[in-house]
């Protein structure tokens, strides 16, 4: 109380001296208007929900030693497809409908392209995550958009195994969704990993939105993953006899929908201030 009173007296004295100085300075009176009037409130912006979730994902992986890397959104065929073991004309290229800028140049369809750039840089071991925006030529609906966001992960060292992959992803799920979250791995196919898997988390079917989001199964896919295919290592001048690694790609938008109960993906991107203002204090 005493300290506050001292402060108050000091502030009053200061205001008085400044006012007197101003009055005596010959400056025309009142040109500053009423100096005691309250200021206009400053409107603070909010971080976008996709950025909030992206940063939280980054936090979880940073805590266990992953660095952050980034790459270009306009990408050449080599980094997006060929180096990732999609041969020319191979049907696997149809898995990702692509926006071409010109022949052999496209908007990246996944952040996996950044993995190639990192491996080519040649500094081993690699333990890094790569957040970013990706583009696909898809019909726009409540569940899919022509652009979305991924966080890619890559770990390359001697003796990396599938159990390291599982443990890293278990850790992510427990930190991000809570210690009791159930997960399952399903065998899958990606040209750049062998073996490949997809990971689902269990939401249940009790609420209407969980039922809809999981199409009645209770399970929601949140990422693709696998052991980096030896062909990919070789394409990036890494010897697969000496090194092995795992990789994964997480869908950020889907996790954000889940986290905030957003039913239509498009709401994130139509810049409606009433929607965005809800994230001001997060």
Cα–Cα distances in angstroms (integers) from residue 234 to residues 118, 143, 189, 228, 277, in the given order: 14, 36, 20, 10, 48
Q: Does 155 bind ligand DAH (CB under 6 A)?
A: no
Site mask for ligand DAH (CB under 6 A), range 47-66, x = bound? --------------------
Residue closer to ligand DAH by CB (options 128, 193) is: 193
CA atoms 78, 81, 83, 86: torsion sign: negative
Q: Does 132 bind ligand DAH (CB under 6 A)?
A: no
Q: Does 225 bind ligand DAH (CB under 6 A)?
A: yes
Q: Does 191 bind ligand DAH (CB under 6 A)?
A: no
- Closest separation in Å from C-beta 198 to ligand DAH: 8
Closest to 59 in 3D by CA, of 146, 154, 143, 151:
151
Member of 110, 126, 183, 243 binding ligand DAH (CB under 6 A): 110
Member of 85, 128, 145, 193 binding ligand DAH (CB under 6 A): 193
Report how far residue 101's alpha carbon sits from residue 91's, in angstroms, rounded to the nearest whole number.
20
Q: Does 131 bind ligand DAH (CB under 6 A)?
A: no
In terms of DSSP bridges, do strands 219-228 and 244-251 run parallel, antiparallel, or are they unpaired? antiparallel
Q: Does 249 bind ligand DAH (CB under 6 A)?
A: yes
Residues that bind ligand DAH (CB under 6 A): 110, 112, 152, 190, 193, 224-226, 247-249
């Amino acid at each position: 109380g005493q300290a506050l009173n001292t402060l108050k007296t000091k502030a009053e004295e200061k205001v008085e001296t400044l006012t007197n100085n101003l009055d005596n300075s010959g400056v025309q009176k009142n040109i500053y208007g009423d100096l005691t009037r309250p200021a206009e409130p400053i409107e603070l912006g909010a971080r976008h929900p996709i950025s909030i979730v992206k940063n939280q994902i980054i936090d979880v992986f940073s805590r266990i030693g992953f660095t952050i890397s980034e790459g270009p959104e306009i990408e050449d065929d080599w980094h997006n497809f060929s180096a990732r073991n999609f041969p020319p004309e191979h049907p696997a290229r149809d898995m990702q409908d692509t926006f071409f800028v010109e022949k052999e140049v496209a908007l990246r369809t996944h952040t996996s392209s950044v993995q190639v750039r990192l491996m080519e840089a040649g500094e081993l071991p690699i333990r890094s995550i790569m957040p970013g925006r990706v583009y696909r030529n898809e019909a726009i609906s409540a569940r899919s958009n022509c652009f979305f966001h991924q966080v890619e992960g890559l770990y390359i060292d001697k003796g990396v195994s599938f159990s390291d992959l599982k443990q890293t992803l278990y850790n992510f799920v427990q930190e991000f969704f809570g210690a009791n979250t159930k997960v399952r791995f399903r065998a899958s196919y990606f040209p750049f990993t062998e073996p490949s898997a997809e990971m689902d988390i269990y939401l249940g079917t009790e609420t209407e939105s969980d039922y809809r989001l999981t199409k009645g199964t209770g399970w929601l896919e949140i990422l693709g993953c696998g052991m980096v295919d030896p062909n990919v290592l070789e394409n990036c001048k890494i010897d697969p006899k000496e090194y092995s690694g795992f990789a994964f790609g997480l869908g950020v938008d889907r996790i954000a929908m889940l986290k905030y109960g957003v039913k239509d993906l498009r709401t994130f991107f139509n810049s409606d201030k009433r929607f965005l203002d809800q994230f001001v204090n997060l």
